[in-house]
Chain A
Amino acid sequence: MGTHNLEELFQQKIDKEVKIEPKDWMPEAYRKTNLRQISQHAHSEIVGMLPEGNWISRAPSLKRKAILIAKVQDEAGHGLYLYAAAETLGQSREQMINDLHSGKAKYSSIFNYPTLTWADMGAVGWLVDGAAIMNQVMLTRTSYGPYARAMVRICKEESFHQRQGFETLLVLSKGSKEQRAMCQDAINRWWWPALMMFGPRDSESTNSDMSMKWKIKRKTNDELRQQFVDMIAEQVKLLGMTLPDPNLRWNESRNHYDFGEINWDEFWQVVKGNGPCNKQRLDARRKAWEEGAWVREAAQAYANKQRTRKKAA
């Protein structure tokens, strides 16, 4: 059976919505694309713990503290599910972590923005998790089995995050003058970065074609972004707040919201590493990893000793 036949069989599976599993034959490019996408998704979950973790010690009530800790812990768990899925494609966790720390692997740019006030916890939950969910629901139907299954598990847990974020802002929007101002300010700072989460315009997105053909991606960047704008433009009304886009308006003929142009300069600068927190995020992850080396070594050393003792016994 030649490679050409294997390629045909592979594409047939994709077209028939049969999932691809770890041991199935797959084009090298398919494997590489999935590995890159899944591992970067995993890195995003882990790095994403940092901007929110920033407010755990200062959460303004015990209930909010518990909710925030649970949310950040969920993100750690999601990172774990995704690293597990990525490892089925031939790269070890350690290799992936090294790629993150060296700057070779990317993570979602949104986490390079700082969380400046408590209201940011609400905005991040509502907008950032909201955008992520849109992407994630689509990915539950991705063609690679382990990735799709990880996404199903993640989506179950994710909707609680978005609701909590919105609810945090709702309480602020009904509160004191300072709380209301804090709420609007956070929305103003997180709106455009959230839109940037959907990536470059379709016309400038290089990976799209093959990703769509292989059903790694099920919807385009622009499609998802439009869906998100339509949803948030309605939800913001419930908060009595505005989105910082003077060009946002309902277009009857398109049956969608028109919205303004993203600052693509900012987008590319942050991707390149010049966002407000890029260095700080990676420094934190590197530090945790390096300072944890003695712990990991000790645990491994102990396990080795135990194995030797059991054999001798």
Chain B
Amino acid sequence: MLHFIKKLYYGDIPDANSGAAPSSDQQQAVTDWPLWEVFIRSKQGLDHKHVGSLHATDAQMAIENARDVYTRRQEGVSIWVVESKYITASNPAEAGELYEPAADKVYRHPTFYDLPDEVKHM
């Protein structure tokens, strides 16, 4: 039972039959740019709000992309970008003590963290 729940908490392992190229680390590094989370403050006096994510190779590119996509080039807007892997998230209420300490990433992205071998092959 615990094994079954652990599988779900670690997020999705790509389908064996999916058309995706094998996700060896090498290939991932070269062709899949890192994921960044974007926070926008649209007006002075408000808080920054999480609006979504995008792919970029560095912070400068991420900010420019965020400006293009999430603000449509508005002036006077403040943008924060953070690589998704650097965000630590709390766990939902119902999980309680069942959560593994490693499962503190924002989402179930398979590349965010190292899976133990037995989980990799499930």
| Interface hits, B1-27 → A, CB 8 Å | 1, 4-5, 8, 11-12, 14, 17-21, 23
With A90-B12, A95-B14 as given contacts, are A104 and B54 in contact (CB-CB < 8 Å)?
no
- Chain B residue contacts of A153, Cβ below 8 A: 51
Contact A150 B11 (CB under 8 A): no
Query: Chain B contact residues: over half helix, strand or loop, or mixed?
Result: loop
How many residues of chain A get a CB closer than 8 Å to chain B's CBs? 45
Number of interface residues of B (CB under 8 A): 42
Residues on the B chain within 8 Å of A94, using CB: 20-21, 28, 31-32
In the assembled complex, the Cα of A153 lies from the Cα of B51 at a distance in Å of: 9
Q: Which residues of B contact A84 (CB under 8 A)?
A: 52-54
Q: Name the residue of chain B whose CB is nearest to the CB of A35.
A: B12
Summarize A's interface: helix, strand, loop or mixed. helix
Q: Which residues does chain A contribute within 8 Å of B4, judged by CB atoms? A: 3
Evaluate contact between B32 and A92: CB separation under 8 angstroms: yes
Chain B, 38-78, CB within 8 A of any chain A CB:
51-55, 57-58, 61, 69
Q: Tell me whether B101 is interfacial, beta carbon within 8 Å.
A: no
Indicate if the CB atoms of A102 and B19 lie closer than 8 Å.
yes
Q: Decide: A24 and B32 in contact? CB cutoff 8 A.
A: no
The answer for the CA separation of A269 and B8 in the assembled complex, in Å, is 37
If A84-B53, A85-B52, A88-B107 touch, whether A296 touches B33 (CB-CB below 8 Å) is yes
What CA separation (Å) do A276 and B51 show in the bound complex?
A: 37
A-B contacts, 26 listed (Cβ < 8 Å): A1-B96, A3-B4, A22-B108, A24-B92, A25-B95, A28-B8, A80-B54, A81-B52, A81-B69, A84-B54, A87-B35, A88-B108, A88-B109, A92-B35, A94-B28, A95-B14, A95-B18, A99-B18, A99-B19, A99-B20, A103-B19, A297-B31, A299-B57, A299-B61, A300-B31, A300-B57
Residues of A within 8 A of B (CB): 1-3, 6, 9, 21-26, 28, 31, 35, 77, 80-81, 84-85, 87-95, 98-99, 101-105, 150, 153, 293, 296-297, 299-300, 302-303, 306
A-B pairs, 8 with minimum CB distance: A102-B19, A90-B12, A90-B108, A303-B57, A95-B20, A84-B53, A84-B52, A94-B32
